[in-house]
Amino acid sequence: MMYLYRVATLVAAVMLAACASGGSTLPPPKQDATTPVVAAYRIGVDDQLQITVWHNPDLSVSVPVRPDGKITVPLVGDVDAGGRTTDEVGREIQGKLGQYIRDPQVAVILTALRSHEYLSRVRVTGAVRSPISMPYRQGMTVLDAVLAAGGTTEFAAPDRTELFRHDATGATQSYAVRLERILQQGDLANNYPVQPGDVITVPQRAF
């Protein structure tokens, strides 16, 4: 009898849980296996960097990247910055300052992005109302870029949209974007963040 009582109690608990959830369980959202990877920004000529050495304000400096790709840091001298990330530059400065300061803590912050004006743009082409080449902005997504281009035309095949991006080797990778789902259904699974140099192409539908 005790066994039957426990089984009945378990069944009742399951039925109550089903009623509380409306009798159905939603599956987890599907993840796209081809989500594009956003690469770290590479410093370029004329970018402005803020070098901060904690507890050593005399060594902290704001410097532009020279045409030779280098910056000059107090005590350290010239450091290669062009083509590198802020973390890479910070680690090199920290390592060199270790000859003069005990356990230096260095932060490198990009305060002005002035380089690669051409490469730093995002482009939207194809069946959009106003094909556009726009400056990249932090946090920009595919939807932001398409809306800036005036949206799609009546001849567009939005669910065949592609995002083209150069990878670290210079090869071009393409990623499928279900733009109609984004625009009409609010499905943001493919509303990828964009990065400088991306090209978004909306093809025309076949007639």
- Span 59-104, pLDDT tens digits: 999 998 887 889 999 999 999 998 899 999 999 999 999 999 999 9
- Amino acid 27: pLDDT: 36
Residue 168 neighbours by CB distance under 10 Å: 9
Q: Which of 38-42, 71-75, 140-144 has the highest mean pLDDT?
A: 140-144
Q: Is the pLDDT of residue 140 over 70?
A: yes
- Which pLDDT score is estimated for 41? 81
Sequence-ordered list of residues with C-beta below 8 angstroms from that of 165, at least 6 positions apart, any chain: 36, 172, 173, 174, 175, 195, 197, 198, 199
Q: Which residue has the higher pLDDT, 50 or 5?
A: 50
pLDDT band with cut points at 50, 70 and 90 for residue 26: very low
Could you tell me the end-to-end alpha-carbon distance of the chain, in angstroms, rounded to an integer?
Answer: 71
Q: Could you tell me the domains of the chain?
A: 48-112 (3.30.1950.10), 121-202 (3.10.560.10)
Q: What is the mean pLDDT of the chain?
A: 81
In this structure, the number of other CB atoms found within 10 A of the CB of residue 186 comes to 8
Residue 97 pLDDT? 95
Q: 25-34, 92-101, 155-164: which has the minimum mean pLDDT?
A: 25-34
pLDDT beyond 60 at 19: no
Predicted structure pTM score? 0.49
Q: 10 Å Cβ neighbour count for 72?
A: 13
Give the percent of the chain with pLDDT over 70: 79
Least confident window among 11-15, 150-154, 170-174: 11-15
Task: Please check the confidence at residue 18 and state whether its pLDDT lies above 50.
Answer: no
Per residue in 183-201, pLDDT (tens digit) is 998 899 889 999 888 999 9
